[in-house]
Amino acid sequence: MNFPPEFLDEIRNRISVSNVVSKRVKLIKRGREYVGLSPFSNEKSPSFTVNDDKGFYHCFSTNEHGDIFTFLMKTQNLSFPEAVERLAEDAGMEMPRSDPREVAVVERAVKLREAVEAGCMFFQAALQKPEGKRALDYLHGRGLGDDIIQKYRLGFAPSGNVLKAELKRRGFAEDVLLETRLISEGKEGRDSFDFFRDRVMFPILDLRGRPVAFGGRVMGEGEPKYLNSPETPLFHKGGLLYGLSLARPVINDKNQVIVCEGYMDVIALAQAGFNNAVAPLGTALTETQLEMLWKLVPEPIMCFDGDKAGQRAAARSAGLALPRLLPGKSLQFALLPSGQDPDDLVRRSGPDAMMQILGQAVPLSEIIWRQLLADHQTDTPERRAGFERAAYERINVVADQTVRDQYRNVFRDRLREMFQPQFKPNRAGGYQAGRKPGWSPGRAGGLGGRNPFRDQGQGAIGTVRPRRALENDTIQERILLATLINHPNILGHVEDRLGAMNLADSRLDSLRQSALMHLAHQPDLDSQTLKAHLAGLGFAHDLESLLGEDTYVHAAFARPTAEPVKATEGWDNTFGWYQRSGLEAELNQLKESLAINPTEEIIAQINTIAEQLNQHTHE
């Protein structure tokens, strides 16, 4: 029986040589290849190699060489049709029938591929012509060199119907061009027209490196920003990953794959030396794409933009993976700075910055935990109980019992650590009962039941980070000062209290004094002008450190976007807790002194502070 070449190619695309061989031979990965003991001879030193990228095996001891079909024929004594039938079943494909209609389908697919290849070559050539200069300048302006442009076969789609005219001149029928969606059908009896016009073109390649579709980016203003080929007989966007055919050799070498959001991210990373990046095709990650990634490496690194859309994409990926986790198979997440994508990062900060981000990638379990923290408050027993129930319900979706049990163990430990009291140093160097970092004070701190150290306004996983083990008073001081700088209109309400403080950090205290001085002389200063004055006095670095997520993660009201009323309430609550914390530290110090040298004077001081604490509690 003669099998259509397209059918055999599809089997090879779906099933790797190592997958077939490893069922009979124990393989060990070495670089881009696998090695093992030859199944064709009784050897003690491995001379048998498998190369998935090239699609063959080779035995140096016997010179046996072939692909997945010949391996089954040689090792299981099958005929070629039998080997094809068995592998087609493994690939989930139906055997072709000796039917004229089946032959027609294969022949049609060949014509479609030829048309898409011709379109790709046309776009590439157009990029190098005078009409493509603006597109080429755009790509160079994005930091791409000619080698990368050539490697990814980038091109330009001219205005008008130039592609249609050229391909029809070369003999491609209009119905073929319509089916590949290189051209679109005209409405109301009008002529068909080029689907892509005046756009930078990104060919989408299949696993064998053949173009099957395109993405087109508008230059300058215009909607949609990216226009992608619709699905065709050659192209199913949920079953491909952009850049995979080019990245696969490097992925095999590094045993690492970086998953980005878009075409430019993949190409910019390749330009910066990260040639192991891929991307979904204009949609959220699909189950098929996730399975493809897990066939490449056990823990792909999801690297999404630092904006809200990127954070939502990361959350969707986490939700997709969680039920499908298996022992040894998971995801990691490299969280980019807010407002940046991989393209921005490598162009502005260089490859080292990207390497650092990848090195700080966190596991899927951490992302799930952060999502839970973002969605729940934990400042009362009832809320803690709700948080605990939500945590266990979240991980109950994991299908594999071994992985689910491990998640339960990890989350149980984190819940215990989060809520269990511990002893920590106080300001005086003694000890007082407290909570582990991450616990948030509630009503008992004089905060009116609100938690000023929780990012109340953000549910994004990229901004809710693990709490740093900073002293509470230092955090509170930073919050109080940041809130004033971002909301100088609250000066009249807080000036006396903030002016009487003496911050522990000398640089921060100098910044406090300078801010109060400027506002005293110019009470109508807005936040941006105040920051500019302070930066001019040498506080630029201090402002950058103070007015960032390390502060805002504890207090949403300190953000510049917070409502003035919220900022005022939050400042009052934080100051109340700051005062109480100081009184508690002083009380503990006095109690230690009392144990060493009991006097009436110390007892009187203890009673005075205890009364003040009681007043704070009932305010």
Sheet containing strand 211-218, strands side by side: 155-157, 199-205, 211-218, 226-228
pLDDT, residue 82, reads 84
Q: What residues have CB less than 8 Å from 348, skipping those under 6 apart?
A: 340
Superfamily of chain region 5-90: Zinc finger, CHC2-typedomain (3.90.580.10)
Chain region(s) in the chain for CATH 3.90.580.10: 5-90
d(CA 320, CA 89): 27
Type of residue at 264: M
Please return the burial class of 528, using the count of CB atoms within 10 Å of its CB with bins 0-12, 13-18 and 19+: exposed
Rounded to 5, what percent of the chain is helix, strand, coil? Answer: 55, 10, 35
98-235 folds as DNA primase DNAg catalytic core, N-terminal domain (3.90.980)
**Angle (CA) 565 569 572, round 5°:** 140
d(CA 493, CA 491): 5
Type of residue at 71: F
Q: Are 534 and 514 in contact (CB under 8 A)?
A: yes
What residues form DSSP beta bridges with 228? 215
d(CA 443, CA 421): 17
Confidence of residue 435 (pLDDT cuts 50, 70, 90): very low
Q: Which ranges of 77-144 does DSSP label H, i.e. alpha helix? A: 80-90, 100-127, 133-141
Chain region(s) in the chain for CATH 3.90.980.10: 98-235
Reference 315, options 206, 459, 183; nearest CA is 459
Chain region(s) in the chain for CATH 1.10.860.10: 444-614
Q: Are 164 and 195 in contact (CB under 8 A)?
A: no
- Give SS3 for 259: strand
pLDDT, residue 462, reads 33
Reference 257, options 281, 286, 290, 287; nearest CA is 290
Of 19-23, 144-148, 270-274, 471-475, minimum mean pLDDT range: 471-475
pLDDT, residue 424, reads 40
End-to-end CA gap in the chain: 89
Please return the burial class of 419, using the count of CB atoms within 10 Å of its CB with bins 0-12, 13-18 and 19+: middle
pLDDT, residue 473, reads 62
pLDDT tens across 242-264, in order?
999 999 889 988 889 999 988 99
pLDDT, residue 479, reads 92
Confidence of residue 590 (pLDDT cuts 50, 70, 90): confident
Q: How far is CA 253 from CA 30, 51, 334, 348, 410, in A?
A: 8, 12, 20, 28, 32
d(CA 481, CA 488): 10
Q: Quick count: other Cβ atoms within 10 Å of Cβ 294?
A: 20
pLDDT tens across 104-161, in order?
777 788 899 999 999 999 999 999 999 999 999 999 999 999 999 999 999 999 998 9
Phi, psi of 433 (to 5 degrees): -65, 135
pLDDT tens across 493-514, in order?
988 888 878 787 878 888 888 8
Q: Are 281 and 330 in contact (CB under 8 A)?
A: no
Reference 52, options 270, 278, 257, 207; nearest CA is 207
d(CA 607, CA 237): 72
Question: Would you state the structure tokens that stand for residue 609, as one six-digit string?
Answer: 């502070």
- Element containing residue 416 per DSSP (H, E): helix 401-419
pLDDT tens across 297-342, in order?
999 999 987 777 777 888 899 999 999 999 999 999 998 887 788 8
d(CA 11, CA 69): 10
pLDDT, residue 391, reads 93
Q: What residues have CB less than 8 Å from 429, skipping those under 6 apart?
A: none
Question: Would you state the structure tokens that stand for residue 242, as one six-digit string?
Answer: 């952009």
Reference 377, options 320, 443, 296; nearest CA is 443
pLDDT tens across 527-538, in order?
988 888 788 777
Q: State the average pLDDT for the chain.
A: 83
Confidence of residue 100 (pLDDT cuts 50, 70, 90): low
d(CA 285, CA 283): 6
> Is the pTM value of this prediction over 0.75?
no
More confident residue, 95 or 84: 84
- Region at 160 (left for phi over 0; alpha for psi -120 to 50; beta for the rest): left
Domain 444-614 has CATH 1.10.860.10: yes
- Give SS3 for 573: helix
d(CA 295, CA 327): 14
Q: Are 15 and 67 in contact (CB under 8 A)?
A: no
Reference 373, options 462, 449, 312, 450; nearest CA is 462
Polymer length in residues for the chain: 619
For the domain made up of 241-375, the CATH class stated in words is alpha beta
pLDDT, residue 603, reads 77
d(CA 15, CA 13): 6
pLDDT, residue 434, reads 41
d(CA 361, CA 357): 7
Cα dihedral across residues 572, 574, 576, 579: positive or negative: negative
